[in-house]
Structure 1
Amino acid sequence: MMVEHAEQTAQMPDFGGRKFLAVLDGTEECWVAVTFAAYRMKRTGGIVKLLVVIEPDDFQHWIGVEDVMRAEAYEQANQWLDEAEAKIAQIGNIEVEREIREGRTADEIEELISEDKNISILVLASSTSTDGPGPLVSTLAARGANALPIPVAIVPGILTDSQIAELA
């Protein structure tokens, strides 16, 4: 007896508007987080949102110096964003959004997540130092498990790009 089966097409859900947020702060581990976010978005679809936060005490000195230091901080932020975009472009054709904010990093992350409802995961990477998981991971962990309304993925900072590609 021959049985006919209706052909079912497995379709992936459309994740086109979904965003993974990665924070650039100049640490080695931030590049691991960017790499993971990019490979994951390449695989599942979506946008990598890059954030650089300029801390206010970085340039609150004398009035004449403040403007110069702020300009230098923005220049550094744009350099990190350019480097991250170049790295992401090497991984694949992945949409990237860039953002620079001034304030306390953890506060600005929370605010951005509350403003942009398409951010579905915050991607961080742990430090390879024996001093702890890194300043950003430590700060967010100290705020408690329910501080953010989205999952936080913490990628081991020791992973290579090829290991990340396999995991993502």
Structure 2
Amino acid sequence: MTDIDDRDDDEYKRKFLVIVDDSPECAKAVTFAALRVRRTGGTVVLLSVIESDQYQHWLGVEEIMRAEAYEAIDTLQSRHAANIAAFGSIKVEKVVREGKTTEAIEELLADDSDIAILVLAAADSSEGPGPLVASIIARGNNALRVPVTVVPGSISDADLAAIC
């Protein structure tokens, strides 16, 4: 019997984890997760990662750059949360971690057993789906404890609504 089987259906609502960055395709992953939660219930978790190796400067400069990064992430996550709110009353959690993105995803999955699906969006580029999608897919079937949904970056919002 799994952890989910032990939970009361009224208390358990699965979470959809979306990695939020400034890529153009990110909005597609957020929209997909919001539409799925609107239909099935649950929460959208917005994870942003500050790559900590960016801050190898003097301490004063490092602190200013880190503060600016947190401020930019707050603005970005708030914008996506506002877009999610347009779909209805959908619970949103905002999470910020420092480090490498794949490691931050693994840590959050370990910390929050309610996260049931990781939603990523593939870049609409001839150069490939993007570094995060490529990295997650390259890790293999058992790298993460949750299924991964990859949303095409070129899909229209109307098509997303039709499949959700």
The answer to whether the superposition gives a TM-score over 0.5 is yes
Deviations 1:118-139 (A, max 9, x none): 0000000100011101111011
Q: 1:157 aligns with which of 153, 158, 161?
A: 153
1:67 is matched with which residue? 63
* Residue 92, structure 1, aligned to residue 91, structure 2: no
Identical positions, percent: 52
Q: What stretches of structure 1 of length at least 5 have no aligned partner?
A: 1-12
Q: Secondary structure at the match of 1:98?
A: strand
How many residues align structurally?
156
Q: What stretches of structure 2 of length at least 5 have no aligned partner?
A: 1-8
Q: 2:108 aligns with which of 101, 109, 112?
A: 112
Q: Counterpart amino acid of 1:26?
A: D
Name the CA distance, whole Å, in 2 between partners of 1:164 and 1:14: 27
Name the CA distance, whole Å, in 2 between partners of 1:59 and 1:166: 43
Q: Counterpart amino acid of 1:48?
A: V
How far is the alpha carbon of 1:162 from its aligned partner?
Answer: 1.6
How far is the alpha carbon of 1:110 from its aligned partner?
Answer: 0.6
Q: Secondary structure at the match of 1:92?
A: coil
> Cα RMSD (Å) of the superposition?
1.3
Q: Secondary structure at the match of 1:39?
A: helix
How far is the alpha carbon of 1:101 from its aligned partner?
Answer: 0.6
Q: 1:37 aligns with which of 23, 33, 43?
A: 33
Q: 2:15 aligns with which of 9, 13, 19?
A: 19
Larger-Rg structure? 1
